[in-house]
Amino acid sequence: MNTTTEFRSFYRDMNAEELLNDTKKWKKRINFLQQEFAFLSSLLEANIFNPEINDLFETLLLYKEEIGNITNESNKILDSLISHESHIEIYLESDDINFDHVFIEIHSKKEYDVTVFLEETNKFKIQLYDYIKRVVIR
């Protein structure tokens, strides 16, 4: 069984309020991630790196570009979550709260996408932190 199927079967028994809470939690995590990357971006602009390191500025530029890519992707995910949240709120306001199969698919796919995105960004942050540790002036 794949991960998306596991998510879907988990959500089958959840109500709209629980799905809404999940979505709000994901939005908070993405918002925090954006703040982290705004800080890291400004850190890379600081004059704290040893200029004698080979390819320092080229490498810093690559990291800055990747932070820009991550920020763009996080904006897309956040927009998607905002839209999803509004759909859940519509379900909550209606008298007929019936989560159909498609809605559960969408919700479980969103969780999968957020989870994968956060895992990938964590890998990138570890790589960036390791690099910064090696090239910062002490």
Q: How far is residue 129's CA from residue 39's CA, in Å, rounded to a whole number?
A: 12
Per-residue model confidence (pLDDT) at position 104: 80
Per-residue model confidence (pLDDT) at position 1: 42
Q: How far is residue 51's CA from residue 57's CA, in Å, rounded to a whole number?
A: 8
Residue 136 β-bridge partners: 49
Residue by residue, DSSP assigns 29-76 as HHHHHHHHHHHHHHHHHSS-B-TTSTTHHHHHHHHHHHHHHHHHHHHH
Paired tokens of 29 = 């995590």
Q: How confident is the model at residue 8 (pLDDT cuts 50, 70, 90)?
A: very low
pLDDT digits (tens, 9 = 90+) for 77-104: 999 999 999 988 887 787 655 666 777 8
Model-level pTM?
Answer: 0.85
Average pLDDT for 108-118:
96
